[in-house]
Amino acid sequence: MVGQKKIIHIMAGGPIDLIPDITEFPKNIIWIGVDRGVYYLLEKGIKPNLSVGDFDSVSDKEWSIIKENVQEINRYIPEKDETDMELAMMWALQQKPDVIKIFGATGGRLDHFMANALMLCPYQIQHPFTLIEIIDKQNCLSVFHPGNYEVEKDYTKKYISFIPLTSEVKHLSLSGFKYPLINRTIHFGSSLCISNELIKQSGNFSFEKGILMMIRSID
């Protein structure tokens, strides 16, 4: 628990140079390590509450270290229907957290990144009261179902892009942004809402149909 919120962090095995400094987070956050992400957590002095994966990306020595230092390990055979990340997400959502932050899920293999990003769509719709984010040094990615949302200014990641993940996103409105919109329908593949910025301390976006991805980025 951090304050009144239950927060779970998931560490995947993506390129280390894209992972922000995780040592700055409070010590009592729940951590899940995914495959090689478990070893990365241990290198940073963090013992995950749960380790998930087939662990085909770690060496025998690294696997021995993982077994010695992690109490709960869910090891699966490589030939399975779900990805390691999806198995971690399923466990995390069963804990009914307020926030899930995912690290090490970008860069490297593009198919893994796309699967991780698009995985947010069904889980965010099924769990609308849990904020799910994929975070790296340059970006923060999240997915939204229809509704009205407030966005606070982030002076680090000042660029905000909205990308439709369905054939269309209907009646999208943006207020408090450099490039506002009023009841616009944007279609899958549109670049209309790329690289916007907040001009106030906070802004709002709303839409009535579809699924929308928001990406906040450093230039």
Residues 54-65 have pLDDT tens digits of: 787 778 888 888
**Spatial separation of the C-alpha atoms in residues 36 and 56, rounded to whole Å:** 8
End-to-end CA distance of the chain: 33
CATH number of the domain that residue 46 is part of: 3.40.50.10240
Question: Tokens for 175?
Answer: 């207020």
Flag whether 110 is in a domain: yes
- Shared domain check, 22 and 97: yes
pTM score > 0.75 for this model? Answer: yes
- Shared domain check, 114 and 12: yes
Answer with the one of 107, 137, 167 that is the final residue of a domain: 137
Residue 194 has pLDDT above 80, yes or no: yes
Which domain range does residue 105 map to?
7-137
**Spatial separation of the C-alpha atoms in residues 198 and 185, rounded to whole Å:** 21
Q: Are 91 and 31 in contact (CB under 8 A)?
A: no
- Shared domain check, 128 and 103: yes
Instruction: Find, among 108, 103, 59, 52, the residue nearest to 80 by Cα.
Output: 52
- Shared domain check, 79 and 162: no
- Shared domain check, 15 and 98: yes
Cβ-based neighbours of 179, under 8 Å, separated by 6 or more: 193, 196
Over residues 52-96, the pLDDT tens digits come to 887 877 788 888 888 888 878 877 766 566 788 898 999 999 999
Flag whether 1 is in a domain: no
